[in-house]
Chains A and B, each alone.
Chain A
Amino acid sequence: MRVEVRVFATLRRYLPELGIGEAKIVAVDPGTTLDQLRESLGIPKTEVKIIMRNHLHADFDDLINDGDRITYIPAVAGG
């Protein structure tokens, strides 16, 4: 399976090769969770406040589906 992964704000330091808003295409095995993918990318769990999958909140333990658009997000707010 292949998924798109994005990181924003302070988490960009863990995927420094990506420009702002760019996605990393990652191959994952069926049965992989969002938390396992995070671990494989070297993003510390303590720095991830929310995960979005296909524009909606997801949980660390959710299984990944083929073609998912996945975003790891630190604590953000403002407005």
Chain B
Amino acid sequence: MARKILRINMTELKATYEEMPEKWARWGGRGMTSAITFDEVDPTCHPLGPNNKLVIAPGWVSGSPAAPSSGRTSFGGKSPLTGTIKEANSGGLSSQKLAKMGIGAIILEGTPKNGDWHMIYINKDGVDFLPANDLMGKGMHEVDKILWERFPNKPAVIGIGQAGEMKLSNAGISVNDPENNPGRYAGRGGMGAVLGARGVKAIVVDDKGVNAIEIVDEELFKAGRRKLTDSIQAHDLTKRDGALNSYGTDVLMNIINEAGGLPTRNFSAGQFEGAAKISGEMIAEMVEKRGGGMTGHACHPGCIIQCSNIYPDEDGSIIASPIEYETAFALGANCGIDDLDYVAKMTYECNDIGLDTIESGNTVAIAMEGGLLEFGDKVGALKLFDEVRQGTPMGRIFGQGVEATAKAFGVHRVPTVKGQSMPAYEPRAIKGIGFTYATSTMGADHTSGYTIAPEIAGVGGKVDQLTDKGKADLSLTFQAATAFIDSTGYCLFIAFPILDIPEGWAGMAETVAGVTGMKITGEDVIPLGKEILKMERLFNERAGFNEQDDRLPEFMRYEVLPPHNVVWDTSDEELDKVYAWVHDGSN
């Protein structure tokens, strides 16, 4: 059965399965959400208004048998945080279930006439619009629990906490994990507010009794799958008991600190004296010592990397899952907080209320710089989250993220690009990631072009972190490869082994070719990625963005960052090389 478009109109409360149009048939994941957003969303629309849409898409290989680590779901539309096009993707249960139901994308559009909130239930028999009255005002832990009690077959639950209900610009979209916890977030860019603007509290996806997965060339798919799986299992980073499996992404805390690129106390230093206390090694030590938690946790079925964790309290009860590097940086180092238990408690709050942890931690840091509380005040920081849950005026400002909070508190050191705050790598100390932050179609985002791999980790080559020479090309290559991988349904972390192991790179492309029947090889990864980037870039231009928006914040140009004692001194001309090809016909 060919993949279908499921169009859900919330004005009419009508759901229609449509044939997949030719123009979208070649896309999956991010390629799909960006193509549909490009074709159907007016770039000048208000992100929370009636003309924005939320597009939800599994990847090309999602749901295919034993495709390793392939449970990512893409959520796209126009972002209320950045005003740009956005794709945020998440692990959890939804990707494989949507794919098995034959859904290439859900297009959620319209707004209920009377302001009612709904819960949408999708199964093999159709689509039901159910009242969400009993779910309103509830956090995602409770919502997930209620919906698993109400619906059998352990369905995927896509939903929003109170932040999404309030349509706050930092509201994420939660997807439940295999244990029905809400720690999997399409967090960045406020897509939870876009779901809220459609009057939808939750979407339940029950794939029981249907498997519409089609594989055009089974042999090619299997051959590619073997190469990809072998490379993931062979690489020191992603193999069983390797660094990611043993310590999670927070294994980076000590390393980035050593590299002098760990943003600390609202991006005022590149090292944090408390880094070791909030590191992945410390998470593993706490899990071992306290019992009750785990490392090596899978965020979706079929993941063979298993980099997630469940962080326990002193008595072995669970505080939160997962503690990522980004989470520990934002809620820890960047706030001057070196207490992992408090990082975990704030992570719980983010997961429950439905907030992106990166933007949230950075917003706490802004509030600290603005004098609302002291750096390191973990108790005060934790209380801020309850303000959001309660919807107090302070909470609503906080829930808008870094830029709004900086304005409210008169802070001029604002680490954002296109309205979105920077993740866990200081661009003054690691130049290539600065190119990505500046030029990404998504605002400041590390995942959109992870030059950290060669700049710090020695993965996919090794380059000097402090030079900007060659970084425009490096960033573009990573941005294009990422746009492709974000379209596959694979976790972006497969990039690390396949950057070092060419057979894995080819294998990834072969799995996509095998499933879809498209004639693509490893050689096509970058060109296809660039096609996606071009759609996104053009959408942004039509929304009013230009090169002047591809800049890092002013304070980074004059404020010296220790320990390397460097500023951001890359010229605008150098930054503009990254996307020059969109209009000069060079590609």
Minimum CB distance partner of B247 in chain A: A9
Q: How far is the CB of A16 from chain B (nearest CB, A)?
A: 12
Asked whether A49 lies within 8 Å of B457 as measured between CB atoms, the reply is yes
In the complex, which of the residues A21, A49, A50, A74 has the most CB atoms of chain B within 10 Å of its own CB atom? Answer: A21
Asked whether B458 lies within 8 Å of A55 as measured between CB atoms, the reply is no
Contacts A20-B282, A20-B285, A55-B259 known; A79 to B246 CB distance under 8 Å?
no
The residue that A20 contacts in the complex, of B279, B458, B563, with Cβ under 8 A, is B279
Within 8 A of B (CB), among A15-73: 19-22, 47, 49-50, 52, 55-57, 71, 73
Asked whether A21 lies within 8 Å of B325 as measured between CB atoms, the reply is no
Other than A55-B563, A56-B464, A76-B457, give 9 A-B pairs with Cβ distance below 8 A.
A9-B246, A49-B236, A50-B456, A55-B259, A75-B237, A76-B243, A77-B452, A77-B453, A79-B423
B185 within 8 A of A: no
B382 within 8 A of A: no
Which listed segment binds A: B167-175, B248-256, B370-378?
B248-256
* Distance in angstroms between the alpha carbons of A19 and B447 in the assembled complex: 31
Asked whether A77 lies within 8 Å of B459 as measured between CB atoms, the reply is yes
Number of A-B contacts (CB under 8 A): 114
* Distance in angstroms between the alpha carbons of A73 and B257 in the assembled complex: 12
* Distance in angstroms between the alpha carbons of A76 and B250 in the assembled complex: 10
**In the complex, the 9 A-B pairs of residues with the closest C-beta atoms, listed nearest first:** A21-B276, A78-B249, A75-B236, A75-B237, A55-B260, A50-B458, A20-B276, A77-B457, A20-B281
Q: How far is the CB of A40 from chain B (nearest CB, A)?
A: 21
* Distance in angstroms between the alpha carbons of A2 and B453 in the assembled complex: 31
Task: Please tell me the size bucket of the interface on B.
Answer: 35 or more
Asked whether B457 lies within 8 Å of A21 as measured between CB atoms, the reply is no
Asked whether A75 lies within 8 Å of B258 as measured between CB atoms, the reply is no
Q: Which residues of B contact A56 (CB under 8 A)?
A: 259, 464-466
Within 8 A of A (CB), among B422-469: 423-425, 446-447, 450, 452-453, 456-459, 462, 464-466
Task: Please tell me the size bucket of the interface on A.
Answer: 20 to 34
Q: How far is the CB of B224 from chain A (nearest CB, A)?
A: 23
Asked whether B251 lies within 8 Å of A8 as measured between CB atoms, the reply is yes
B496 within 8 A of A: yes
B7 within 8 A of A: no
B564 within 8 A of A: yes
B36 within 8 A of A: no
Minimum CB distance partner of A70 in chain B: B258
* Distance in angstroms between the alpha carbons of A65 and B276 in the assembled complex: 25
Asked whether B251 lies within 8 Å of A76 as measured between CB atoms, the reply is yes
Q: How far is the CB of B45 from chain A (nearest CB, A)?
A: 31
* Distance in angstroms between the alpha carbons of A74 and B248 in the assembled complex: 14
B326 within 8 A of A: yes
The residue that A55 contacts in the complex, of B243, B496, B564, with Cβ under 8 A, is B564
* Distance in angstroms between the alpha carbons of A21 and B241 in the assembled complex: 20
Asked whether A75 lies within 8 Å of B276 as measured between CB atoms, the reply is no
B189 within 8 A of A: no
* Distance in angstroms between the alpha carbons of A12 and B464 in the assembled complex: 26
Q: Which residues of A contact B564 (CB under 8 A)?
A: 55
Q: How far is the CB of A26 from chain B (nearest CB, A)?
A: 17
Asked whether A79 lies within 8 Å of B458 as measured between CB atoms, the reply is no
Q: Which residues of B contact A79 (CB under 8 A)?
A: 249, 252, 324-326, 423-425, 446-447, 450, 452
Q: Which residues of B contact A12 (CB under 8 A)?
A: 281
Asked whether B282 lies within 8 Å of A78 as measured between CB atoms, the reply is no
B76 within 8 A of A: no
Q: Which residues of B contact A6 (CB under 8 A)?
A: 254, 258
Contacts A6-B258, A8-B254, A49-B458 known; A75 to B235 CB distance under 8 Å?
yes
Asked whether B452 lies within 8 Å of A21 as measured between CB atoms, the reply is no
In the complex, which of the residues A22, A47, A57, A76 has the most CB atoms of chain B within 10 Å of its own CB atom? Answer: A76
Q: How far is the CB of B253 from chain A (nearest CB, A)?
A: 9
The residue that A78 contacts in the complex, of B236, B241, B251, with Cβ under 8 A, is B251
